[in-house]
């Protein structure tokens, strides 16, 4: 996401622009090759301090993945560990290495949302804003929770633009009401190179996906020289992690004050907090949940960003 002074607009018009860039949204709860990974705004903050975060980061304890299942009637039981959609999950491991990728996707100018569907998740290149810059990127995929991207870009223009957001995401085509779910939880694990400008983050869409009336909620897990949009409105603490909460129109970012390369996030508690604050309505719905890395710069050299584990449950 971005420095508000560089954004085209805050709110509806910008969301419409993103929707056009994304293409058609998948229905029936199934990912579509045209569904964006909710790449965020066209720009992000330029270089500078990471809002009190340490650049080296600290590693949080890995969370437990949940049992496998299928998407049905607003209920998603996410896969866990290396299991299949019908198997039982294991602990998310930050030690996974994608050494024999089954899919290798170079930058595809004709399809910024190029990707593959694996176990009900869509792993996307999401090069949504790369066309205006000198960018190279190759996404190598072993599984939905085990992939890496090699990218090369810079911030020589100084505008702090996010060029790509390679990610794994799940679409909720049936748009379940948040309040109808008893659990929305996710675990993550990644490896970061600490070069350039980037952040690993969840990008979540409520009340639609990048459309008029929808709300974008980001949760930054590992920040390197990145700055969110808007201004800080509060500090929120959940399960031992404190977040600086930033808001700009329909964009809300929870920026972890301590970097984590693995962990578990109780998304339902975050959504309930947002409802309590009055930022979204009590009848709000869940549209899409993404996890990946927003890339602004790699310092003009090849850099590798890995997702080593991911799980999601909503029921």
pLDDT at 184 over 60: yes
* pLDDT value, residue 95: 59
pLDDT digits (tens, 9 = 90+) for 87-112: 223 334 455 899 999 999 999 999 99
pLDDT at 20 over 60: no
39-57: burial string, b at 16+ Cβ within 10 Å, e else: bbbbbbbbeeebbebeeeb
* pLDDT value, residue 15: 41
Ranges 20-34, 148-162, 289-303: which has the least confidence: 20-34
Phi and psi of 15, rounded to 5°?
-65, -35
pLDDT at 285 over 50: yes
**C-alpha–C-alpha distance, residues 289 and 270, integer Å:** 13
User: Hey, how many other C-beta atoms are within 10 angstroms of the C-beta on 8?
Assistant: 12
Bridge partners, 22 (sequence order): none
Phi and psi of 136, rounded to 5°?
-125, 145
Q: Which two tokens stand for residue 139?
A: 């996404």
| Reported pTM | 0.76
pLDDT at 75 over 50: no
* pLDDT value, residue 172: 98
Which residue has tokens 């860039």? 21
Q: Which two tokens stand for residue 294?
A: 């927003």
Q: Give the domain range for residue 57.
A: 4-314
Phi and psi of 171, rounded to 5°?
-100, 140
**C-alpha–C-alpha distance, residues 246 and 253, integer Å:** 5
User: Hey, how many other C-beta atoms are within 10 angstroms of the C-beta on 27?
Assistant: 11
Looking at the structure of the chain, the number of domains it has is 1
CATH number of the domain that residue 116 is part of: 2.60.120.180
- The DSSP annotation for 147-196 comes to EEEEEE---TTSS----B--EEEEE-TT--BGGG-S-EEEEEEEE----S
**C-alpha–C-alpha distance, residues 48 and 305, integer Å:** 21
pLDDT digits (tens, 9 = 90+) for 134-169: 999 999 999 999 999 999 999 999 999 999 999 999
* Closest to 250 in 3D by CA, of 35, 15, 16, 8: 15
**C-alpha–C-alpha distance, residues 305 and 287, integer Å:** 26
Is residue 233 very low, low, confident or very high in pLDDT (cuts 50, 70, 90)? Answer: very high
Phi and psi of 74, rounded to 5°?
85, 5
């Amino acid at each position: 996401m971005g420095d508000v002074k560089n954004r085209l607009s805050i709110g509806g018009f910008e969301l419409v622009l993103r929707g056009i860039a994304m293409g058609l949204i998948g229905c029936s709860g199934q990912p579509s090759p045209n569904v964006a990974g909710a790449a965020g705004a066209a720009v992000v903050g330029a270089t500078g301090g990471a809002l009190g975060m340490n650049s080296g980061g600290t590693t949080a304890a890995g969370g437990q993945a949940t049992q496998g299942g299928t998407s049905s009637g607003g209920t998603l039981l996410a896969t866990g560990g290396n299991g299949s959609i019908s198997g039982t999950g294991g602990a998310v491991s930050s030690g996974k290495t994608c050494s024999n990728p089954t899919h290798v996707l170079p930058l595809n100018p004709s399809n910024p949302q190029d990707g593959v569907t694996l176990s009900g998740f869509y792993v996307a290149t999401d090069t949504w804003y790369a066309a205006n810059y000198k960018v190279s990127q190759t996404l190598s995929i072993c599984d939905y929770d085990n992939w890496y991207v090699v990218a090369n870009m810079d911030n020589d223009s100084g505008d702090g633009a996010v060029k790509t957001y390679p990610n794994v995401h799940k679409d909720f085509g049936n748009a379940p009401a948040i309040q109808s779910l008893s659990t929305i939880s996710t675990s993550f694990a990644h490896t970061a190179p600490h070069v350039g400008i980037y952040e690993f983050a969840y990008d979540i869409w409520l009340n639609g996906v990048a459309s008029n009336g929808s709300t974008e909620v980001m949760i930054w897990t590992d920040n390197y020289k990145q700055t969110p949009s808007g201004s800080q409105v509060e500090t929120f603490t959940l399960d031992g992690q404190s977040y600086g909460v930033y808001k700009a129109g329909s964009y809300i970012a929870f920026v972890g004050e301590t970097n984590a390369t693995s962990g578990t996030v109780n998304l339902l508690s975050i959504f309930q907090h947002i409802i309590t604050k009055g930022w979204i309505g009590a009848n709000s719905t869940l549209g899409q949940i993404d996890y990946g890395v927003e890339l602004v710069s790699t310092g003009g050299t090849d850099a590798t960003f890995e997702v080593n584990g991911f799980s999601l449950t909503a029921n």
